[in-house]
Amino acid sequence: MTSESKPAHFLQNIIREDLAEGRVSQVVTRFPPEPNGYLHIGHAKSICLNFGLAQEFGGSCNLRFDDTNPAKEEEEYVEAIKRDVSWLGYQWNGEVKYTSDYFDQLYEWALHLIREGKAYVCHLTPEEARQYRGTLTEPGTNSPYRDRSVEENLALFEQMKNGEFAEGECSLRAKIDMAAPNINLRDPVIYRIKKMAHHQTGDKWCIYPSYDFAHGQSDAIEGISHSICTLEFEDHKPLYDWFLDNLPVPSHPRQYEFARLNLNYTVVSKRKLKQLVDEGYVDGWDDPRMPTLSGQRRRGVPPAAIRNFCEMIGVTRSDSVVDVGMLEYCIRDELDKTAPRAMCVLEPLKVTLRNYPEGREEVLSAPGHPVRDDLPARELPFTRTLYIEKEDFREEANKKYKRLVLGKKVRLRNAYVIQAEEVVKNEAGEIVEVICSVDLDTLGKDPADGVKPKGVIHWVSADKHVECEVRLYDRLFSDPNPDAGGKNFLDSVNPDSLKVLEGCKAEIGLATAAAGISYQFERNGYFCRDSEYGSAEKPVFNRTIGLRDSWAKEQNK
Ligand code: ATP
Ligand code: MG
Name which residue sits closest to atom 29 of ligand 1, judged by CA: 260
Name which residue sits closest to atom 1 of ligand 1, judged by CA: 269
Q: How far is CA 177 from the centre of its chain?
A: 41
Torsion sign over Cα 529, 534, 539, 545: negative
- What is the pLDDT at residue 556? 42
CA dist 89 → 64, 68, 81, 92, 372 (Å): 17, 27, 13, 10, 22
* Residue 16 belongs to some domain of the structure: no
- What is the pLDDT at residue 72? 85
* Residue 8 belongs to some domain of the structure: no
Ligand nearest to the CA of 232: 1
Q: Are residues 211 and 191 in the same domain?
A: yes
**3-state DSSP call for residue 161?**
helix
- What is the pLDDT at residue 553? 47
- Annotation says 195 is catalytic: no
- What is the pLDDT at residue 73? 79
* Residue 263 belongs to some domain of the structure: no
Instruction: Please count the other Cβ atoms lying within 10 Å of the Cβ belonging to residue 327.
Output: 26
**Residue 69: what residue type?**
N
* Residue 82 belongs to some domain of the structure: yes
Show the CA angle centred on residue 278, arms to residues 296 and 37, nearest 5°. 55
Pocket lining: 105 vs ligand 1, CB cutoff 6 Å: no
Q: Are residues 328 and 380 in the same domain?
A: no
Show the CA angle centred on residue 152, arms to residues 149 and 153, nearest 5°. 85
Q: Which of 385, 362, 368 is nearest to 443 (CA)?
A: 362
Final residue belonging to a domain, choices 227, 258, 289: 258
Burial status of residue 68 (CB atoms within 10 A of its CB: 0-12, 13-18, 19 or more): buried
Q: What single DSSP character describes residue 100?
A: G
Q: Are residues 479 and 508 in the same domain?
A: yes
Q: Are residues 199 and 337 in the same domain?
A: no
Q: How far is ligand 2, taken at its centre, from the CA of residue 318, in Å?
A: 19
How many structural domains does the chain have?
3
41-56 and 75-88 helices, crossing angle to 10°? 60
Pocket lining: 409 vs ligand 1, CB cutoff 6 Å: no
Q: Are residues 60 and 84 in the same domain?
A: yes
* Residue 6 belongs to some domain of the structure: no
Are 220 and 200 contacting, i.e. CB atoms less than 8 angstroms apart? Answer: no
Ligand nearest to the CA of 32: 1
Q: Report the alpha-carbon distance of residue 282 to residue 178 in Å, rounded.
A: 46
Pocket lining: 236 vs ligand 1, CB cutoff 6 Å: no
* Residue 514 belongs to some domain of the structure: yes
**Residue 248: what residue type?**
P
Final residue belonging to a domain, choices 458, 488, 508: 458
* Residue 13 belongs to some domain of the structure: no
Q: Are residues 39 and 153 in the same domain?
A: yes
Domain of 283, CATH number, reads 2.40.240.10
Q: What's the domain range around 398?
A: 344-458
Q: Are residues 219 and 282 in the same domain?
A: no
Q: Report the alpha-carbon distance of residue 122 to residue 109 in Å, rounded.
A: 18
Query: Could you please report the per-residue DSSP string of 164-177?
Result: -S-TTT-EEEE-S-
Name which residue sits closest to atom 23 of ligand 1, judged by CA: 43
For the stretch 99-126, what's the b/e string if a residue is b when 16 or more beta carbons lie within 10 angstroms of its beta carbon? bbbbbeebbebbbebbeeebbbbbbbee
- What is the pLDDT at residue 252? 97
For the stretch 496-527, what's the b/e string if a residue is b when 16 or more beta carbons lie within 10 angstroms of its beta carbon? ebbeeeeebbbbbbbeebebeebbbbbbbbbb
Dihedral over alpha carbons 178, 181, 184, 187 (to 10 degrees): -10
Residue 140 CB contacts under 8 Å (≥ 6 apart), including other chains: 132, 133, 134, 178, 179, 183, 186, 187
User: Could you tell me whether strands 385-389 and 348-353 are parallel, antiparallel, or unpaired per DSSP bridges?
Assistant: antiparallel
- What is the pLDDT at residue 325? 96
- What is the pLDDT at residue 4? 58
Residues (pLDDT < 70) of the chain are: 1-4, 549-557
- Annotation says 118 is catalytic: no
Q: Are residues 325 and 454 in the same domain?
A: no
User: Which of these is catalytic: 254, 270, 332, 543?
Assistant: 270
Helix, strand, coil content of the chain in percent (nearest 5): 30, 25, 45
Query: Ligand 1: which of 46, 50, 97 to mutate, judged by most atoms within 8 Å of the beta carbon?
Result: 46
- Residue 269 CA: nearest ligand 1 atom is 3
Q: Are residues 190 and 309 in the same domain?
A: no
User: Which of these is catalytic: 72, 83, 260, 272?
Assistant: 260
Q: Are residues 192 and 302 in the same domain?
A: no
Q: Are residues 194 and 323 in the same domain?
A: no
Q: Which of 366, 530, 533, 542 is nearest to 444 (CA)?
A: 366
Q: Which of 211, 230, 222, 217 is nearest to 43 (CA)?
A: 230
Burial status of residue 249 (CB atoms within 10 A of its CB: 0-12, 13-18, 19 or more): middle
- Annotation says 270 is catalytic: yes
Backbone angle region of 6, left / alpha / beta, with phi > 0 → left and psi within -120 to 50 → alpha = beta
- What is the pLDDT at residue 551? 55
- What is the pLDDT at residue 552? 52
**Residue 480: what residue type?**
P
Q: Report the alpha-carbon distance of residue 209 to residue 111 in Å, rounded.
A: 12
* Residue 166 belongs to some domain of the structure: yes
Domain of 203, CATH number, reads 3.40.50.620
Q: Are residues 415 and 509 in the same domain?
A: no
